[in-house]
Chains A and B, each alone.
Chain A
Amino acid sequence: MRVAVAEDSGIFRQALVTLLTTVGIEVAVSAASGEELLARVAGDPPDVAIVDLHMPPTHTNEGVVAARRLLERHENLGVLVLSAYNETPQAMELFRDQPRGVGYLLKDHVTDVDNLRSALERVMRGEVVIDPDVVSRLVEARHREHELARLSERERGVLALMAEGHSNAGIGRRLHLSARTVEDHVRSIFTKLGITSSATGGPQDSNKRVLAVLTWLRAAEPR
């Protein structure tokens, strides 16, 4: 796998590149800003671009802007956006419209090689990846606790994994359930929460499903 990295903090960039190289991932480009990355991958795009969310000049959403432009220019490129903070409403802009091959990961979890590798592989395949901590913060933000209380323990677990971007098969593997059972849970959750989505199956569908679940989770009452 070939990746490109854009990260303004030199010390963290260095450590990340070392980590990636050590586990056998080729780092083709290592840039200090989104602009630099865009310029240097233009001719020979890697499989995945790892982009820091907060970069100069404004330290607000440079990573999101760079990610959207990378996705526009390079069809088969996956983008993994990294953030040091869990509380970043602007990052949700990543998943607007038709998300495909996008991931959002907290930097804390990047230090875990397995986590990192699995996220990279998933976005490379075109899946949507959302950090479990971000999802659990959204689920714990109790402004929808009323509705969430109607879900069973198991259903809440399925909902969280759905929001993280996992497919039915992925959810089944993690919870040791059959695909059929997962499907039943998903249908039940959608009915209880009143989420309308045609998505049930493959990777493209599960991306749409993420969007529906995220939108529902983020919708504060009554906005």
Chain B
Amino acid sequence: MGFRWHDRPAVPNMERVVVVISGPRRRRTPPWFGPEARRALVAGLAVAVLALAAGWPYWRGHPAAAAVTLAVCAAIAAEGVLLATGGRTRRTGLAFVTAAAAWALNWFASWDAGAGPMVSPYAQAGFYLALGVGVLLYPTGRLEYLADRVWTAVACAVLTACPTAMWLTSEPEWAAFRGDSVWWPAPFPDLGLFRAVLRVSSGLYLLLALSFAVVLLLRLSRMGRLGRVLALPVTIALAFVGVSAALTQNPVMEASVSLDALLDVYAVQGAVAGVVPLTLLASGLRVRLGELSVAGRMLRLTAPVTVERVRDALRDVLHDPSLDLWFWAPAEGLYVDTGGRPADLAGDAAPGRWRRTVLTASGDPLAVVELGGALRDHGSLVEAALAAGGRALENARLQATVHANLEQVRSAYERLVRAEAVERERLARDLHDGAQQRLLALGAMLGTLEAVSADGAVREHARTCRGELMEALAELRALAREVRPALLVQGGLAPALEVVAERIGTRVRLEVAPGRYSSEIESTLYAVLCEAMSYAVERAGAARVTVRVRPEGARLVAEVSDDGGSPGDPAADLAGLSGRIRALRGQVSVDGDPARGTTVRMVLPCE
């Protein structure tokens, strides 16, 4: 999985290094003319020569057709050889070379002698079959889908059976050839049967062409987005060639057509087939161009660098909206997502996904990128994009690390707030259930003493003690209320706020949805709402305060609005409140001016 861009040779041991500096070897050929290109040229020339020889009688009268056909044959053969050098496209390349050779052989029909005329229909069939299968094998080198395999099998059967049936049932004259010079066994000549064979054959050819178009469309829908972008022109071109071949073949599928008419059709079909190498070439150029332009696009799309922008740039450039990115946070020793949250990347990627680790120039982990599996076929493009985005990725990683640290601080704060809420609850419970009940019991005992004692002084003393005790109880309750109001624990926010509203002395309108939340949310919200209410009354001098608390999906929204005019900056005055809300991953917005009053809006996530 290890992948390294900016591939720098490992620094050798610095002691005793012999550095051999050799001058660059002189190239006698330009860089694009390598061994592959030379092989392709040779193959193209060879097939062109073969086609020239095969169609010589016809070419003499039709130089333009000759030029086009020879060029198409040469182009398909050369393209086949180039494709055959790639690992996965090897089979496609071989199929194309076969197709080019078959098309050249097809032209032996023009000699109107020997075995050429009989072999020609097989060669023509072989040409289309090889071209079609070559495209179906592209780019994986396998017939991946059931439809591909079924079509290939049916095409093999039809394209073998039809030419065979033709010479089995006809005299050469019926098929546009001279009977005395051609080798044509004709074991069962029957004009009626031959006509039927021709009709059935032309129907089957058309059916093959149309079904091929359908198979191509089916393949297209299963490809990744990038694959689709590249395969679409070739698919359209090939479907066009197939259907036009079947249609142009139709007029010559008659008994007693002239040889010239037949060869004219061949010339047209060959010219149309020239579209295939041209579109393949265009697609190839487009891939290359994409790889070249990817650097510029990455640079443009990632400026200024943010974590999300780098991810979105990669998604855009690689046409993969499902692409995901995690950065290595060295301090924490784990991968984090674009939001800074730790991610568990142990184990393999989901099926159909492709996960690559990206290393820094010095070989340390930098990021993990997960792509759709279809992009495996465009490895060089992915590499180009990652290489181009290298600096941006490193910068973004810094950002992700900062996010991760922030996230840690925030979750620590959150834990603190939670712990505080729990601790407050425990303390409040101790005060309520422990100390308070004990003091109340003591009060009842003093009451008993007061009731049983006959001594007036004792009774008076007990009464005073009871009075003191009640004072102590009141103080204890005030303290407990500060810690956490009993009503909040018992009844939740609504009744607790009701009591606060009663005590606050201004008209407070409460619209608090009933419902219970976690104790840290309730106690935090209670505390900040109390703060906001007393701010409204004491600082802003509001005459009316409205408090709204309502759940909105997975969030709890609380609003305190007043009609007061704050002398200062409400947002600054309420900073403590904001901190507590943010600790629970909530948001606070303060809006208002002296004329309209102030609205504090708090949104808390709650499960």
Contact = CB atoms under 8 A, between A and B. Distances in A.
A14 B441 contact: yes
B542 interface: no
A36 to B, nearest CB: 18
A84 B440 contact: yes
Contacts of A43: none
Interface stretch (A137-145, A179-187, A199-207): A137-145
A85 B444 contact: no
Given A19-B451, A90-B491, A110-B444, A137 B502 contact: yes
Nearest to A11: B441
A88 B441 CA distance: 21
Residue of A12, A59, A111, A223 with most chain B CB atoms under a 10 A cut-off: A111
A147 to B, nearest CB: 12
A89 B507 contact: no
B308 interface: no
Interface in A83-115: 84-85, 87-90, 107-108, 110-113
A25 B284 CA distance: 104
Nearest to B477: A85
A31 interface: no
Nearest to B447: A111
Interface stretch (B351-359, B405-413, B430-438): B430-438
B452 interface: yes
B391 to A, nearest CB: 61
A15 B451 contact: no
Given A89-B498, A108-B473, A18 B508 contact: no
A178 interface: no
Nearest to A137: B502
Contact of A111 (B466, B495, B502): B466
A22 interface: yes
A16 interface: yes
Would you call the interface of chain A mostly helix, strand, loop, or mixed?
A: helix
A107 B448 contact: no
B507 A221 contact: yes
Given A107-B440, A143-B508, A112 B447 contact: yes
Contact of A89 (B438, B491, B505): B491
Contacts of A16: 441, 444
A143 B444 CA distance: 35
Given A220-B508, A222-B509, A60 B443 contact: no
Contacts of A143: 501-502, 505-508
Nearest to B438: A11
A113 to B, nearest CB: 5
A59 B490 contact: yes
B499 A112 contact: no
Contacts of A9: 433, 437, 440-441
A23 interface: yes
Interface string A4-42: 000001011011101100110000000000000000000
Main SS class of interface, B: helix
B337 interface: no
A142 B446 CA distance: 35
Contacts of A223: 509
A109 B506 CA distance: 30
Contacts of A22: 448, 451-452
Contacts of B448: 15, 18-19, 22
B416 interface: no
B445 A15 contact: yes
B8 interface: no
A58 interface: yes
A59 to B, nearest CB: 6
A58 B490 contact: yes
A141 B438 CA distance: 30
Contacts of A14: 441
A112 B466 contact: yes
A220 B469 CA distance: 33
Contacts of A221: 507, 509
B445 A18 contact: yes
A111 B449 CA distance: 11
Contact of A15 (B444, B473, B495, B507): B444
A33 B496 CA distance: 25
A163 to B, nearest CB: 15
A54 interface: yes
B501 A220 contact: yes
B437 A12 contact: yes
Given A15-B445, A112-B466, A89 B508 contact: no
Contacts of A11: 437-438, 441
A113 B490 contact: no
A111 B498 contact: no
Interface in A107-150: 107-108, 110-113, 116, 137-138, 141-143, 145
Given A11-B437, A137-B502, A143-B507, A111 B487 contact: no
Interface in B458-475: 466, 469-470, 473
B563 interface: no
B503 A15 contact: no
Contacts of A59: 489-490
B143 interface: no
Contacts of B466: 111-112
Identify the interface centre among A22, A59, A87: most chain B CB within 10 Å of its CB.
Answer: A87
Nearest to B437: A9
B490 A54 contact: yes
Contacts of B499: 87, 89
A142 B505 CA distance: 5
**Residue of B443, B466, B498 contacting most chain A CB atoms (<10 Å):** B443
Nearest to B505: A142
Interface in A70-92: 84-85, 87-90
Given A84-B440, A89-B499, A113 B451 contact: yes
Contacts of B440: 9, 12, 15, 84, 107-108, 110-111
A140 to B, nearest CB: 9
B357 to A, nearest CB: 54
Given A9-B437, A111-B469, 19 more contacts: A15-B441, A15-B448, A19-B451, A22-B452, A60-B491, A84-B436, A84-B477, A87-B487, A87-B499, A89-B498, A108-B473, A110-B440, A111-B470, A113-B447, A143-B502, A143-B506, A220-B502, A220-B508, A222-B509
Interface of A: 9, 11-12, 14-16, 18-19, 22-23, 54, 58-60, 84-85, 87-90, 107-108, 110-113, 116, 137-138, 141-143, 145, 220-223
21 contacts: A12-B440, A16-B441, A19-B444, A22-B448, A22-B452, A58-B490, A60-B491, A84-B437, A87-B486, A87-B499, A89-B487, A89-B491, A89-B495, A108-B440, A111-B443, A112-B447, A112-B466, A137-B502, A138-B502, A143-B501, A220-B498
Interface of B: 432-433, 436-438, 440-448, 450-452, 466, 469-470, 473, 477, 485-487, 489-491, 495, 498-499, 501-503, 505-510
Please list the 3 inter-chain residue pairs (A to B) with the smallest Cβ-Cβ separation, ordered nearest first. Answer: A111-B443, A15-B444, A141-B502
